[in-house]
Structure 1
Amino acid sequence: MPSRRHFLQGGISLAALAALSPWLSTGALSAGAPLLQRTIPRSGEMLPVIGLGTSQTFNVRLDDASLAPLQQVIETFFAGGARVIDTAPSYGAAEQVTGELLKRTSNQDRAFLATKLSSTGRARGQAQFEISQEALQRRNIDLVQVHNLQDTSTQLGLLRELKQQGLVRYIGITHYVESAHDELIAVLQREKDIDFVQFNYSVGERGAEQRLLPYCADHGLATLINRPFQRAALLSRVKDRPLPDWAAELQATSWAQLLLKFILAQPAVTVVIPATSNPRYMADNLAAGREPLPDAALLKKIVEAFA
């Protein structure tokens, strides 16, 4: 992954970075406008729009040297008012690392934890859920999703049982490629009690604008957006270019913030979940989750900048 220092244009802002010093001060990000929040349609619960993905970045050894920078990420995350952390058993040690860091930082009760089932068969799904409970150090999980539509009907049946038992609060489905969007919609049309859908959407992958985002808006579905930077491919396109003057209209101080604000301009987006292992990048991402968001003219400029 290319170094993001080329894209930060000095970070979120000199004042904000100074306040964070070194990204850990309690409430350090609260000096500016608060994070935007959006509603989970099924319940009315509000969630901050910037979350945290853990794929690859949290798959590290459970030792102090490996955990130290990630602990700073978690502390910056909560200091900035965020809550949603998305992980999965298939992300290696990410669930264990997440659970350990939430314990170390005393944030177990503040986190909105989302994980996944990626098993075939009910028994394996049940065993996987119990392993997730142990790894995350939480009996009750906020959101459990069927990962990449694997054995969808069986796993959704299990999740309904876990929800009735009070062990899961919300259930969902996920995918990460545009070619699966029609299949996501087909499942949503068939299974009417799904609360969340997670999928890819970005300046470089805009297919969700055609059917999936409108469907979610029309049918009261919460959305988690993955791959906002396309694994840094979008940032690579602009690595040698200065931030355009019009970015100031959005109070954006990095290319990453423009990419996140582009996504958040869609009202059907509930939370976007960029992954990072760097506390400075975490702070930069959080700065994107505040007003103002781009109007149609600025959205067009963002698209053109990454074309």
Structure 2
Amino acid sequence: MHYRQLGRTGIEVSEIGFGAWAIGGDAWGPVEDAASIRAMERALELGVNFIDTADVYGNGHSETLVAQVIKNRRDQIVVASKGGLMGHHRDPNQEPVYDRPEKIIAAFEESLRRLQTDYIDVYFDHIWWNNPRETEAFLTAFDRLKQEGRVRAVGVSTDDFEYVQHFNHGAALDVVQLDYSLLNRKAEQHILPYCLEQGIGVVVRGPLRMGMLTGKFTAGTEFPEGDVRHNWPREDWYQAQLGQVQQLSALTSQERSLGQLALRFVLNHPAVSVAIPGGKTPEQVEQNVEASARPLLEEEDIRQIEQVTPGA
């Protein structure tokens, strides 16, 4: 496993982390808690030191599972969590819910309770729309939490460049979590260059496009009820991206699977600190972690990627 600095925070993170959304059990199809714990344990055995969760994943269940894995080695693990969406599924044009710092701090303390810890290394605003009242409330709450030593770094999970700029007023932003992959290169246009320039750490969610870039889906794939991907096969973009995945498969070899190619691609960008693919089983984790040891992308790889998925 290779390690990188998380922007200017001074926190060292494994370049492959563990994304703990799926283990919440309410958005990615069936998952067993015992398998989820084994998957996280295997990740840590292989050198992963960054786990990303959120209060809304499984309505807190993901955080409770993470707690079981970190409890005897808390100082060895960089734990990231997010707040702001719990009970917040609504039209963002409505009145803000998290409009006071006290509400955000209360949600943070609930995450502490579930994680069974007294601090969170990286705490994200999970509201990706730019509502000024909520944004200012988060900024005030984050400042208090950092001064109290209960968070080491703060960030926002968004793909909105203007929101990133607003949140970073006064250099308040330590980390950005964003969607970036071979099939979604929009972040290359503005956010990634900005983060690199500002020394803001970047956590990449969706590096495998929610499983698409493992090559295991087909036109006939069916996702169960309750899976966030349930309606994908009926979408035009899904068929188009299946075609792109097939073309990208030509770049695989015995040394590098498609998923490992996808992870190496996002890690190739100099702004990126850590990629957080999910993993429900130890076998999936092993495949993800091995990407850290796979060959770096060469100019010919980039040239062929550009032909299939041009940069932003």
Give the TM-score range, shorter chain.
0.7 to 0.9
Distance in 1 (alpha carbons) for counterparts of 2:263 and 2:248: 18
Distance 1:169 1:58, change over 3 A: same
Task: Choose from 59, 75, 81 the match for 2:25.
Answer: 59
The 8 Å contact of residues 248 and 305 in structure 2, kept in 1 or not, is answered as no
Distance 1:186 1:158, change over 3 A: closer
- Residue 41 of structure 1: CA displacement? 3.0
Corresponding position: 1:279 with 2:282 = yes
- Residue 42 of structure 1: CA displacement? 1.8
291-300 or 213-222, larger mean C-alpha shift? 291-300
Other-structure match for 1:107 = 73
Other-structure match for 1:209 = 188
Corresponding position: 1:184 with 2:164 = yes
- Where in structure 1 do 4 or more consecutive aligned residues deviate above 4 Å? 238-243, 303-307
Other-structure match for 1:11 = none
Instruction: Note the alpha carbon deviations across 1:248-286, whole angstroms, 9 max, x for none.
Output: 49x31x211111111011011000111121110101000
* SS at 2:278 equivalent: coil
Other-structure match for 1:162 = 145
- Residue 191 of structure 1: CA displacement? 3.9
Q: Percent identity?
A: 27
- Equivalences for residues 123-134 of structure 1 within 5 A: 123-134=102-113
Corresponding position: 1:78 with 2:44 = yes
Distance in 2 (alpha carbons) for counterparts of 1:302 and 1:146: 33
Other-structure match for 2:90 = none
Task: Choose from 73, 84, 90 the match for 2:56.
Answer: 90
Instruction: Note the alpha carbon deviations across 1:55-77, whole angstroms, 9 max, x for none.
Output: 133337xxxx9321112111110
- Residue 131 of structure 1: CA displacement? 0.6
* SS at 1:148 equivalent: coil
Other-structure match for 1:21 = none
Other-structure match for 1:257 = 260
* SS at 2:153 equivalent: strand
How many aligned positions are there? 260
The 8 Å contact of residues 54 and 94 in structure 1, kept in 2 or not, is answered as yes
Corresponding position: 1:42 with 2:8 = yes
Corresponding position: 1:295 with 2:274 = no
The 8 Å contact of residues 195 and 202 in structure 2, kept in 1 or not, is answered as yes
Report the AA paired with residue 108 of structure 2.
F
- Residue 47 of structure 1: CA displacement? 1.3
Corresponding position: 1:230 with 2:230 = no
Report the AA paired with residue 10 of structure 2.
G
Report the AA paired with residue 182 of structure 1.
E
Ranges in structure 1 where 5+ consecutive residues have no aligned partner: 1-34
Report the AA paired with residue 70 of structure 2.
L
TM-score, structure 2 as length reference: 0.76
Corresponding position: 1:193 with 2:172 = yes
Distance 1:298 1:164, change over 3 A: same
Report the AA paired with residue 275 of structure 1.
G
Report the AA paired with residue 44 of structure 1.
G
- Residue 123 of structure 1: CA displacement? 2.2
Aligned-residue CA RMSD (Å): 2.4
* SS at 2:74 equivalent: coil
